[in-house]
Amino acid sequence: MATPHAESPLRGCRVLVCRPQPEADRLVAAFHAAGAEARALPLLERLPLPDTAATRTAIQNLDQFHHVIAVSPYAARQLLALIDTWWPQLPLGLHWYGVGQGTARVLQQAGLQPHWPSTGVDSEALLALPELARLSGQKILLARGENGRELLRDTLQQRGAQVTPLALYRRQCPADAGQRLDTLLRDFDPHAVVLLSGETLNNFIALGENSDHTLYQRLLVVPVQRVADQAARAGFHNLCIPPELSDHQVIAAVAQHLAPTAPDTDIPAR
């Protein structure tokens, strides 16, 4: 890991990373390398769902699908592990997709050649791919969490596809997150909070709404405009959307917004 230099633009900036693990620790380490102080507080945890007959049937019939979509790196890893159980060699002719470059990279590491949006990391960006424009009579396997991504499923069906949602995990807020958030807001006093999903933002708001801290004055790093609008409606106005959700781009976005003022400026009272 690189050693932070005194002239680092993030020197003195404090960042709270609320991503699930292991992404949270990885991003914290990257912030440290860039000169910032950073702490991890996952506001979502993912629990694998038990294997079911429907899950086994979908994987065993993998060769009957035309397209396979993974909505997150975690979904991609879970999907690949299941496929490896039933398919010593992957069937040919499938078109693979990741919602964002990070998800696509997991598929690439398994030897696949996935499609992903060149810009954007949400369902809308994926749906703009020309490969998914005309789907009449085609079958799509959608690897996702227990719920969510309804826009993606509904739009693919409207385009004529037969979509099979494959629920691989459940998302929930960690039991101790509220107490830990209160402590970190008070003692660590972050300048910026990284919240890279709408559900993470909702948990942050719910857990922090009774706090006496300056919750609404902090910089929030959010993934897309839809989540930024959600945060603005809740009362947050200091918002940042990185061009991509890679660690490098998240850190660069925080540096651009905080570096001129954060080390020397206290967060104003609400």
CA triple 210-211-216, angle to 5 deg = 105
Per-residue pLDDT reduced to its tens digit, 78-99:
999 999 999 999 899 999 999 9
pLDDT value at residue 7? 61
CATH code matching the domain that covers 14-44+174-264, chosen among 3.90.580.10, 2.30.22.10, 1.10.3720.10, 3.40.50.10090: 3.40.50.10090
Per-residue pLDDT reduced to its tens digit, 43-90:
999 999 998 999 999 999 999 999 999 999 999 999 999 999 999 998
253: confidence class by pLDDT, cuts 50, 70, 90:
very high
What is the C-alpha to C-alpha distance for residues 186 and 179, in angstroms, rounded to an integer? 11
Q: How many CB atoms lie within 10 A of CB 103?
A: 27
Per-residue pLDDT reduced to its tens digit, 100-149:
888 999 999 999 999 999 887 788 999 999 999 999 999 999 999 987 77
The gap from C-alpha 133 to its chain's centroid, in whole angstroms, comes to: 25
Q: Which CATH class is domain 47-172?
A: alpha beta
> How far is the first Cα of the chain from the last one, in angstroms, to the nearest whole number?
37
Domain ranges of the chain: 14-44+174-264, 47-172
Tokens representing 104?
Answer: 């696509």
pLDDT value at residue 126? 93
Contact 146, 55 (CB under 8 A): no
pLDDT value at residue 147? 79
Q: Taking residues 182-211, what's their average pLDDT?
A: 91
Contact 24, 47 (CB under 8 A): no
pLDDT value at residue 213? 65
Fold: same for 14-44+174-264 and 47-172: yes
pLDDT value at residue 149? 72
pLDDT at 1 over 50: no
What is the C-alpha to C-alpha distance for residues 245 and 161, in angstroms, rounded to an integer? 29
260: confidence class by pLDDT, cuts 50, 70, 90:
low
pLDDT at 266 over 50: no
Residue 163 DSSP SS3: strand
Task: Name which of 131-140, 168-177, 253-262 the model is least confident about.
Answer: 253-262
pLDDT value at residue 150? 85
Is 55 exposed, middle or buried, given 0-12, 13-18 or 19+ CB atoms closer than 10 A? Answer: middle
pLDDT value at residue 8? 77
